[in-house]
Amino acid sequence: MNTIEGTATPGMSTARLFNAYVQEARAEVLRYLRLPGFLLPTMLFPSVFYLMFGIFLAKHNSPDAARYLLASYGTFGVMAPGLFGFGVSLAIDREHGLLTLKRALPMPPGAYLVGKMCMALMMASVVTTIMLCLAIFGAHVQLGAANIAAFFITEVLGVLVFCSLGLLLGTLAKGQSAPGLVNLIYLPMAFLSGLWFPLSIMPNFLQALAPVWPAYHLDQLALSAIGMGQGGVLIHALVLAGFTAVFLTLAARRLARHG
């Protein structure tokens, strides 16, 4: 049984492999840019909230309110691209058989997730830029170039922890039930992390509970970036990295088992 099955296996050059990742990311970005149902809420919710509570209604508050709320709503703004962009879209792709098709095709392993990650990073950059513009030109928050850069990098990279949480949620829920499940995490987490109301006006036990939420740590980092931090930057960053690693591991395990 002299077979010729194994002969002439085509190799994939590094350039073509890289191109596969680029094309996958490009397709993923285009796919969501053309989806107003995802794009508009993602961009409008944080900016409208900030406009109302951070700019119009904050005139009578302390001058630092607009600065403080930039971190809160900025953090709120990068939660959605990660949680929905990953969680809901993964759940839908699984239900619709798209993920199955991609697994059958010779898509480079990881291209699918890298593609979604690029989409989330891009959305996070857009939202963060909008928030910074509102703060600087609308609320006249005084920010140095270093503050702006630090805030931008913090928020944009901060989306990754929500990507990994979204990935995990996307492996738990299927299709239509995913938006509900994601909202069940998204809205309470935003509230309990002090993104809508400062933690200081909340009951003590909720304040004590805040560090279990990833959004709380990102908010603390964002505050530090614009000069309102209470220190512990390294600890918050490490906690976020830890959350990301745990979510990713759990999600990878579920994906390997259930596909």
| Candidate list 14, 104, 200, 230; residue touching other proteins; CB under 8 A | 104
Report residue 35 as tokens: 């989806």
Q: Which two tokens stand for residue 76?
A: 């709120």
Reference 166, options 154, 187, 181, 188; nearest CA is: 181
Question: Applying CB under 8 A, which of residues 57, 59, 64, 103 lies at the interface with other proteins?
Answer: 103
Query: Number of C-alpha atoms within 13 angstroms, CB side, residue 104?
Result: 5
Q: Is 6 in the site for other proteins (CB under 8 A)?
A: yes
Q: How far is the CB of 16 from other proteins (least distance, A)?
A: 6
Q: Does the protein bind other proteins through residue 20 (CB under 8 A)? A: yes
Q: Where do we find the tokens 């992390």?
A: 193
Which among 99-107, 144-152, 200-208, 240-248 is the span making contact with other proteins, rule CB under 8 A?
99-107
When the beta carbons of 76 and 84 are compared against other proteins, the nearer one is: 84
Q: Which long-range contacts (CB under 8 A, 24 or more apart) does 136-141 make?
A: 138/51, 138/55, 139/54, 139/55, 139/58, 139/66, 139/67, 139/70, 140/66, 141/66, 141/67, 141/70, 141/226
Least Cβ distance, residue 180 to other proteins (angstroms): 20
Q: If binding is defined by CB under 8 A, does position 258 make contact with other proteins?
A: no
**DSSP-assigned states of every residue in 117-157:** HHHHHHHHHHHHHHHHHIIIIIS-----HHHHHHHHHHHHH
Binding status of residue 256 toward other proteins by CB under 8 A: no
Instruction: Select from 65, 105, 121, 233 the one that contacts other proteins (CB under 8 A).
Output: 105
Interface residues for other proteins in 39-98 (CB under 8 A)?
96-98
Interaction between residue 4 and other proteins (CB under 8 A): yes
For other proteins, which residue of 100, 142, 176, 183 counts as binding (CB under 8 A)? 100
The Cα–Cα gap between 5 and 88 comes to: 41
Q: 3-class SS at 246?
A: helix
179 binds other proteins (CB under 8 A): no
| Number of residues located near other proteins, criterion CB under 8 A | 37
**Displacement of CA 166 from its chain's centroid (Å):** 8
Of 88 and 143, which CB lies nearer to other proteins in the complex structure? 88
CB of 107 to other proteins, least distance (A): 5
- How crowded is the C-beta side of 152, counted as CA atoms within 13 Å? 14
Q: Does 3 bind other proteins (CB under 8 A)?
A: yes
What is the contact surface with other proteins in residues (CB under 8 A)?
1-6, 9-13, 16, 19-20, 22-24, 26-27, 30-32, 34-35, 96-98, 100-101, 103-109, 259
